[in-house]
Every structure is written in C-alpha cells, then in structure tokens.
Structure 1
Amino acid sequence: MEGGPGAAGRDTAGPPAAPREPGPGGGAPRPSPPGGDGEWRGSLRAALGGLTTRGRSFLAAGGAAVVCAYVLGQADLLRVGVLLTALPLVCVVVLHRTRHRVAASRMLSPARVPAGSEARVHLRLDNVSRLPTGLLMLQDRVPYVLGPRPRFVLDRVEPGGRREVSYRVRSDLRGRYALGPLQMRLSDPFGLVELARSFSAYDTLTVVPRTEPLPPVRPGGENGGRHGGRSRSLAAAGDDDVIPRGYRHGDDLRRVHWRSTARYGELMVRREEQAHRPRCTVLLDTRRRAWAGSGPGSAFEWAVSGAASVAVHLLERGCSTRLLTDSGTPVPGPEGGGPGGSPAETAGLILEALAVVERSGEPGLARVRDALGGGDGSEGLLVAFLGLLDDGDAALLGGVRHRSGGAVAFVQRVPGEPPEGGGPRRLLREAGWTVLPYAPGDALPALWRQADRSGGLAPGRTAGGGR
C-alpha cells in the first residue's frame, strides 16, 4: 500500500449511477455527486446473489446433510447439516443489515502527461459511519491501454478512519482516458458472502503528444505580417493622435492626459506602449487519404508530435500561435493566444486539441485556404505538417503561401522517390515554400535547424539545396 495526498472531493458508495461527462481541461479531480444513500444495503435477494463459491458449497453440503440425516435418522448429522446451512444465511443477513457509509476520492498527479510518461492515481477511502468496516477489496476501472486494473485489499477500517492507496498508469497512445468508477467488495470473515458496490465518479487522464525541444532558429517570415515590424503602439504617436483610457487604480499620475480629462469629465491616462507579437500558424493535415499506417510509429503520429513541438516552441519565443487543421477551425481561436491568454494557457489548449485529433474525411484543403484568406492578406509564419500530396493540393497550398510572411512545409517523403521530389514538392518550392521532406523517425530538431534563414536555406529551396 502506498500513501498519496488527499483529494479535493469525495464520492459516497451506493447503487450504480449514470456516468457523468468529464469536465474540460485537466488537473483537478472531478468527483460525481453521491449515488444513492451510500449505505451497504439493498434487497435481500441481491444479498443472496453475493454468495461466493464457498458459501454455495456450504449450503449444498448442509442441505445434503439434512436430507441424509432425515433418511438415516441420524440426529448428529442433522445438527451438522443445520449448521452448514445456517452459517452462510446468517452471513447474508448480517451483511445485508450492515450499514457502512464509505466515501472515496481520486486525484491524478498530473492530469495531463506526454505520451510515454507515467501518471500517479491517488485513491482515498473514508469510513464516515459509526461502525468499523470488514475486509474491503477495491478495484479501479482502467482502460486496457493504461495497464492492468489495479486491485487493493484493505483490512478493517475504524469509524472515521481513512486509507490511502495509489497506483501508476502509462500510455504510449495519446488521447483522453476515463479512470473509474471505483468498485468495492465487502466480505464476511469466513469468505462466504461478497457484496459489490460501485461509486459514480470518474476522472479523465489526458495523454498529449510528446514534444521535443527545438533549437532557437529564425525561419524566414517569422516576423512577417502586418504588425511584424512594429514594436510600439499608438502611445508612441503624437499628442494629437493619442488614444487615452480611463484611469485605473495604481496608474502613474504622470501619464494623465489632461486634455482628454477635460473633454470627458473623468480622469484619463495615456495608453501604455504595447509590443505586437508576431503571428504564427501551425497547419496539420489530418485527411485520411493523405496518411498510411497507424500506431505510435506512423507518419501521422510523427506529424502530430511535430506540430505540438513547433507550436510550443513558437509560444515560448513569444509568438501568437494557433493550430489549424484541414477542417478550417483554428485552436484556440482566430487570433491565436490573444492578449487575454498566456502562452502556457494557449499551449495547453493546443496540446489538448492534438491529444484527441483524428484523421478526417475531408477531400481537400479548401477550408485551409478559406481560413487563411479571411484575414488582412498576411498571416505571419506558416508551418505545415503534410502527408501525401497531389498536384491539386500543392497548387492550393501555393496560393496560400502568398498570404503568409513565410512558409515552411514538412512533407512526407515517399520511399523510392528522387531527392528533389515529385511534382507536388516542386510546385511548393516554386510557390516559395521551404520544403523539408521527412520520414517517420527523423529527428525534428535537425529538420527545424535546416529551416533557419541564416543557415543558407532560403524559401524556395529543399533540404538538399535543389530548386
């Protein structure tokens, strides 16, 4: 038995309840409301159904002894038969009338882990009744991909007592996995009867793609976009062009704009200087026809992990980054992180989305063109992770390239094709893309370094340097 920290919520044992949808995000336990009255009771017929193999054997042996005693006229054998028959029935009645109230809680540490990493699940059991419990057997429901179902045996829990256990889970496959509900069995000292109860709460473990640290390079166009070269806001303009705002507690009185104060009749201050963050878009091609193979070592999983690594890297460098798939819906929104979201929050949203992304049935990349063409004509840096392309896909992406300040395309390399690639890669290069062919298992940091503008790889050239 391993100790674990206390959890924030409790769930009381009772009749099985309908499962509750997991809450958004992760990190905090989400216990369900108590199911039923939480006491160890139910119908007597259900209690009789809890007889174990040993208990049924006792009943069968006792019945046979009673019949034989009646036929043979043996009083001593009759007493033995009555004892064997009565013992399991008495245990059934005792357990049926036992009213233990047991509350349980679960905490994940952490609730979001990269693929291949371990998370620890802490379970806490509280006896909230006035009577001690008997022998308790716990089993938590765990998906097969996270490992075997953990089982624990707890000895007598005193009134008001607490027991804490923990176990580890691990998955090489990204996704969201439900843990629970917790199941518990109460047994009599002779092992003749077992009554099972199930809690209603469960928690969600999110397994996000693995990310790799990338070198601090500067791909061409990273500072592109309408505001890429601007570093100061309207506060740097002339006094006639300044846009003031209302005074807030703690503002420096030296920034009070007296002319606007006299005009609006309230204290107004000049806006602070605001640096404009460069905008970046990470495009992930999820079309089913563009990918072959499945599993952790497939090209699609490599692309998902690469998109996660690039998005986190760009956010750490201060870029306003968003994720875009062929469905045309950006994550976390049209303006990336936005002024109201921190880079850590934006990275969390992107990783949560990539944890559950699946291959889509989209026929093409038209929605990508519409999503990137709805702005002001400049979308900053565009980094695309693409599968198998045809000439039509390449031509469409070539038109998207002219709406971005810079474009880097990771294109899946087809076995046996020449180093300069086929027609789609040639069309991308002619449109101004920096094309980086890859295969599953290639080192992403090395490919990312090849996109460095100062490393001699200008837009429109492949990793091998050919036009």
Structure 2
Amino acid sequence: MDAGGTGRAGGGRGGEAGGVRTALAGLTTRGRSFLAAGIAAAICAFVLGQSDLLRVGLLLGVLPLVCATVLYRTRYRVAGSRRLSPARVPAGTEARVHLRLDNVSRLPTGLLMLQDRVPYVLGPRPRFVLDRVEPGGRREVSYRVRSDLRGRYPLGPLQLRLTDPFGMCELTRSFSTYDDLTVTPRVEPLPPVRLGGEAKGYGDGRQRSLALAGEDDVIPRGYRHGDDLRRVHWRSTARHGELMVRREEQPQRARCTVFLDTRGAAFEGAGPDSAFEWAVSGAASVLVHMLERGYSVRLLTDTGHSVPGEGADGFAGVSQGTAEAAGLMMDTLAVIDHSDGTDLSRGYDVLRGGNEGLLVAFFGDLDEEQAAVAARMRQRSGGAIAFVLDGGTWRRGASGVPGPSDGSGERLRMLREAGWSAVGVPRGAGLEELWRLADRERTGLAAAGGGEGPR
C-alpha cells in the first residue's frame, strides 16, 4: 500500500503581513528568549546611554528575526511517501510503517524533523530527526504500530518540521496524503471436524463440475471482449442476432452462511474481552476456516445485509479467490458495529429464500420471541450450528466459567428442538473447544433422529 505526496517545505508567497506572522509564530523558546533579551538590552542602553549595550541588544534581537526570515524564505522541495507492511493485520499484531523522504530540489536541506500523525490507540506519535539531505538524496525510516482493538485507523498526514542551525525558529509543513491501517478481528484456527450441512451432491465442500450433456444443453451468454472465438455458439448467435459464446463449466461449491447477530440490545459491555467482540472474532474464524475448506461463504447480519460476493445472494463466487473473499469479509468485520434493530426478522427473511447449505450463527441474548425466530432459520438450511452468548452468563463469569442461566438453557433447548446444534458460550471459552463440542452435539442430534446430520 503506497501513498505519497510532494510538498514544498519553507512557506509560500503570501502577503508580507502573513509572512511576518508565520515567521514570528515559529520562534522557539530560545528564539523568543533572545528576542526578549535584545529588546530589554536596547531599552536599558537607551535609558543608561550605553552604546555598547545597545549593540549587544541589537545582536540578540536581530539574530532570531534573521533566522526566522531565512528559514521562512528557504524553498525546500521534498517528496514524502508511506508504505504499510502489511496494510491489514489481526488485532494484537504489529504492522510496520515505512516512511521515505526525497529531496527533489537542487539545494541541500537543513535539520529536519519528520513526524507522522497516528491515532492514540496505535501507540505514541513517531518522530525522527534527519540531518542534512543532499540534493537528490533520500532518507528512509520506519516505526511499528499495534492495536488490540479492531477497526480502520488513518495514518497521516506526514508532517515535516524545519529548523535553523541555531534552533531559533521552527516551521511545520504537512503533506496531504494519508493511509488506512485495517485491524481485523482475531482469527482462531479451527479443527477440520465434519460439521456437514452441505447441499446434496456437493460432496464434502470440494469443488465439482457441471457435466454438459450435449450441444442442446449449452446455456450461452453474450460475447465479451477477450473471449476465445473458438467458443462462439453459432446456433445461438443466429437466433439472437449477436455473438454468443458457450459458458465455461462452472464449478459448484458447498455453501456456508455465517450469521452474526449485531443487535445492540443483545450484547452488553465493550472492549476486546466483551461478548460482542468474541462473536465477531468467532465469525471471522469460521469464515476463514470454511473458505479454506473450499466452501462458498457469505457473511450475513441481523439487518439482512450480506457482504457482497461475486456469486448470487452475496456468496463468494468460484472465480473469486479465497484470499480476496476472506479479505473483503475481514474488512467488513473490522469496522462492524452494533445495529439499531431489536429483532432477527430481516435476517430470517433472507435465509428463508432457499437452501443455503450450512448455517453457522453467533447469537447474543435471545428472548422467547427472538429464540422462536432463530429456530425458524433452521428450516431451509442443510445444517445449523448456533453459538449463543448469554449476557447474564458473561456478567457473572468475570471470575469463573459458570454454566448457562435458566433463561439461556431454555433458549438452547428451543433451538435444539428445531434441529440446531446449539452451544452456550461462557465467558473466557475458546472457540476451538466449542467447535468440537458443536460437532459432538450434532452427532448426538443425528443419532437421536432430531435433525439432519452430515453426509
């Protein structure tokens, strides 16, 4: 991720009054002290009639003014750039920011101080002192940033502070460009248990190809620039009056929908150890895991919105690479926040439209009405796994890992009766352990004939 900007350090050709104010405003404590001492010496020389003291006062007072004027009128032309390595990091992981400064003028620079603006959550503001930069020369420095909170944080703009050799005056110039560092949720590696739920004929999440039975079964599409002319379907071309080409065999992949409950009323607390952050991290872990297993995945929230994918209904398409699809969804989860909704009906409306394969849901607090809505989500799904984060359990679990409350146990029972593999999430629990528990729950449900197990 490269971004840079060129700027001219040293001031512009504004009005004389504005230039004087800018130069005087840049005086340092040393420069102001010299100026005050010069004025005081001049006044004393006038009162006492001492000409030698007057010469000393003039020297002390003129020196900072000359330094400010020279520094203000010095025309440095420098170019600054920033590179993030990497530009997307999980929470709690460090990223390195590389800064580069090029002197594109014919004059050497003086002493420069390079400063980058960084949000407080990423750490202290980095500052670097650069000695004289020769004409056409460059300087490269770097610093590290780290955040335990997911989000998208702006870095920049880059600031350049100019100073004279005597330290009498400092002027600051800023570049106009900045970059964004995306801090994604933590991802926990999951074991490859057989959670099943894929649509019939899809196999264990691996790609399969559609066999074309013959020429009459070909579904052509319009010609696009770059298509191989050998794939032109002449019969359809004659019928439609425009060039039509045979569709390439499209691989089918098992589908998985990861449902994330973002209702503000369903979660309490904030910070990296809150229930909502656990749910977001869990959703991210499942998304990455299922993509790595070859599933076509989409992220759906209680608002009914899904992360756009290349395929239909928000699913990541076959031609969309795993890394690209994962990056798109992780960018969404990096900035996702609580919704204003109070129910799950809009998410249910999206899910009831068809068989969406495996459904993995992360729910917050569920009252009886919302538990009934969540139970109905299971009807058209090939398999369903629910992780329920009970707010009362998380509040009481600050010093331990208690069992679910009575209300939470009743909600889990309702989901299980509807065919879900439902697991309560106590405070401090690891997703890997709960992932295995969900597999055992699913196995027991299938053995009891309570729902569709994996194939």
Q: Could you state the TM-score of these two structures normalised by the residue count of structure 2?
A: 0.85
Residue type matched to 2:360 in 1?
A: V
2:375 match: 398
Alpha-carbon distance, 1:13 to partner: 2.7
1:156 match: 132
1:363 match: 342
Cα separation, 2, equivalents of 1:257 and 1:87: 85
Task: Note if 1:296 corresponds to 2:272.
Answer: yes
Alpha-carbon distance, 1:173 to partner: 0.2
Cα separation, 1, equivalents of 2:77 and 2:359: 58
Summarize the alignment of residues 274-313 of structure 1 with structure 2, pairs less than 5 Å apart: 274-313=250-289
Alpha-carbon distance, 1:100 to partner: 1.0
Alpha-carbon distance, 1:267 to partner: 10
Summarize the alignment of residues 310-349 of structure 1 with structure 2, pairs less than 5 Å apart: 310-333=286-309, 334-349=313-328
- Shift in CA distance, 66/323, structure 1 to aligned 2, threshold 3 Å: same
- Shift in CA distance, 59/401, structure 1 to aligned 2, threshold 3 Å: same
Match of 1:446 among 430, 433, 450: 433
- Shift in CA distance, 8/213, structure 1 to aligned 2, threshold 3 Å: closer
Task: Note if 1:409 corresponds to 2:386.
Answer: yes
Report if aligned partners of 1:234, 1:241 keep a CA contact under 8 Å in 2.
Answer: no
Alpha-carbon distance, 1:213 to partner: 1.3
Summarize the alignment of residues 5-404 of structure 1 with structure 2, pairs less than 5 Å apart: 8-14=2-8, 43-221=19-197, 223-224=198-199, 231-235=208-212, 237-238=213-214, 240-243=216-219, 273-333=249-309, 334-373=313-352, 375=353, 377-404=354-381
Cα separation, 1, equivalents of 2:233 and 2:183: 51
Alpha-carbon distance, 1:139 to partner: 1.4
Report if aligned partners of 1:175, 1:356 keep a CA contact under 8 Å in 2.
Answer: yes
Cα separation, 1, equivalents of 2:69 and 2:190: 66
- Shift in CA distance, 239/119, structure 1 to aligned 2, threshold 3 Å: same
Cα separation, 2, equivalents of 1:291 and 1:454: 25
SS where residue 383 of structure 1 aligns? strand
Residues 181-222 of structure 1: CA deviation (Å, up to 9, x unaligned): 11121111111111111111111000001111111122141x
Alpha-carbon distance, 1:309 to partner: 0.5
- Shift in CA distance, 141/9, structure 1 to aligned 2, threshold 3 Å: closer
Report if aligned partners of 1:121, 1:166 keep a CA contact under 8 Å in 2.
Answer: yes
Report if aligned partners of 1:435, 1:460 keep a CA contact under 8 Å in 2.
Answer: no
Task: Note if 1:430 corresponds to 2:417.
Answer: yes
Cα separation, 1, equivalents of 2:74 and 2:158: 20
- Shift in CA distance, 256/250, structure 1 to aligned 2, threshold 3 Å: closer
Residue type matched to 2:302 in 1?
A: D
2:400 match: none
- Structure 1 residue runs of 5 or longer lacking an equivalent are 1-6, 17-34, 462-467
Alpha-carbon distance, 1:315 to partner: 0.8
Cα separation, 1, equivalents of 2:306 and 2:292: 19
Alpha-carbon distance, 1:114 to partner: 0.4
CA-based RMSD of the aligned residues comes to 3.2
Cα separation, 2, equivalents of 1:120 and 1:52: 32
1:25 match: none
Residue type matched to 1:383 in 2?
A: V
Cα separation, 1, equivalents of 2:129 and 2:139: 11
Cα separation, 1, equivalents of 2:302 and 2:241: 51
Residues 391-447 of structure 1: CA deviation (Å, up to 9, x unaligned): 111111111110111110001144354699532211111111100111232121121
Residues 20-70 of structure 1: CA deviation (Å, up to 9, x unaligned): xxxxxxxxxxxxxxx989xxx971221111111111111111111112112
Report if aligned partners of 1:284, 1:304 keep a CA contact under 8 Å in 2.
Answer: yes
Report if aligned partners of 2:251, 2:318 keep a CA contact under 8 Å in 1.
Answer: no
Residues 342-399 of structure 1: CA deviation (Å, up to 9, x unaligned): 22111111100000011111010011111112x3x31111100011111111111111
Cα separation, 2, equivalents of 1:453 and 1:224: 21
- Structure 2 residue runs of 5 or longer lacking an equivalent are 394-402, 449-455
- Shift in CA distance, 245/386, structure 1 to aligned 2, threshold 3 Å: closer
SS where residue 422 of structure 1 aligns? helix
Cα separation, 2, equivalents of 1:256 and 1:62: 89
Percentage identity across aligned positions?
66
SS where residue 153 of structure 1 aligns? strand
Cα separation, 2, equivalents of 1:167 and 1:99: 28
Report if aligned partners of 1:218, 1:454 keep a CA contact under 8 Å in 2.
Answer: no
Aligned residues: 430
Report if aligned partners of 2:421, 2:441 keep a CA contact under 8 Å in 1.
Answer: no
Cα separation, 2, equivalents of 1:310 and 1:108: 27
Deviates more, 1:169-178 or 1:438-447: 438-447
